[in-house]
């Protein structure tokens, strides 16, 4: 996009130079053929500048769309991270509850065995 901007600026400078040259030739009494050629070149450059400005606008629009898509994806990714963290915490809590319950059962089963001995 920067290269398009740079090219656009260069063409604008070229257009200004041709316009200046056209003005100088008009005052210097150049031939009509020279003038016609310069006018044609000026018109072509103006059209190219216009096309490139439109292309630059389109590219800026695409950049904006891509930036919003990136932002949406980042937000979705952050939401998924939060959900995964929450699920992991729940699973760890369930595992801890299961472990505690199993330990209680083991102690309950060991108690009668310990009393017999």
End-to-end, the C-alpha distance of the chain in Å comes to 86
Element holding 104 (H helix, E strand): helix 32-116
Total structural domains within the chain: 1
Please compute, for residue 111, the number of CA atoms within 13 A of its CA located in the half-sphere on the CB side: 6
Structure tokens at 57: 């606008």
Please compute, for residue 43, the number of CA atoms within 13 A of its CA located in the half-sphere on the CB side: 6
State the chain's mean pLDDT as an integer.
Answer: 87
Kindly list the distances between the CA atom of residue 87 and the CA atoms of 21, 73, 113, in Å, as whole numbers in the listed order. Answer: 73, 21, 39
Q: What is the pLDDT of residues 49-106, one digit of tens each?
A: 999 999 999 999 999 999 999 999 999 999 999 999 999 999 999 999 999 999 999 9
**Residue 25: band (very low, low, confident or very high) from pLDDT cuts 50, 70, 90:** low
User: Which of these, 2, 3, 11, 18, lies nearest to 51 by C-alpha position?
Assistant: 11
* CA R_g for the chain: 38
Integer Cα distance of 13 and 115 in angstroms: 102
Residues spanned by the domain of 89: 2-116
């Amino acid at each position: 996009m920067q290269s398009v901007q740079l090219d656009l600026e260069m063409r604008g400078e070229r257009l200004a130079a041709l316009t200046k040259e056209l003005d100088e030739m008009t005052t210097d009494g150049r031939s009509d053929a020279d003038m016609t050629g310069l006018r044609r070149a000026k018109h072509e450059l103006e059209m190219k500048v216009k096309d490139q400005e439109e292309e630059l606008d389109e590219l800026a629009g695409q950049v904006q769309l891509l930036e919003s898509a990136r932002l949406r994806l980042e937000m979705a990714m952050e939401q998924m991270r939060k959900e995964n963290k929450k699920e992991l915490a729940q699973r760890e809590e369930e595992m801890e509850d299961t472990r505690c319950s199993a330990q209680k059962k083991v102690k309950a089963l060991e108690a009668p065995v310990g009393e017999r001995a």
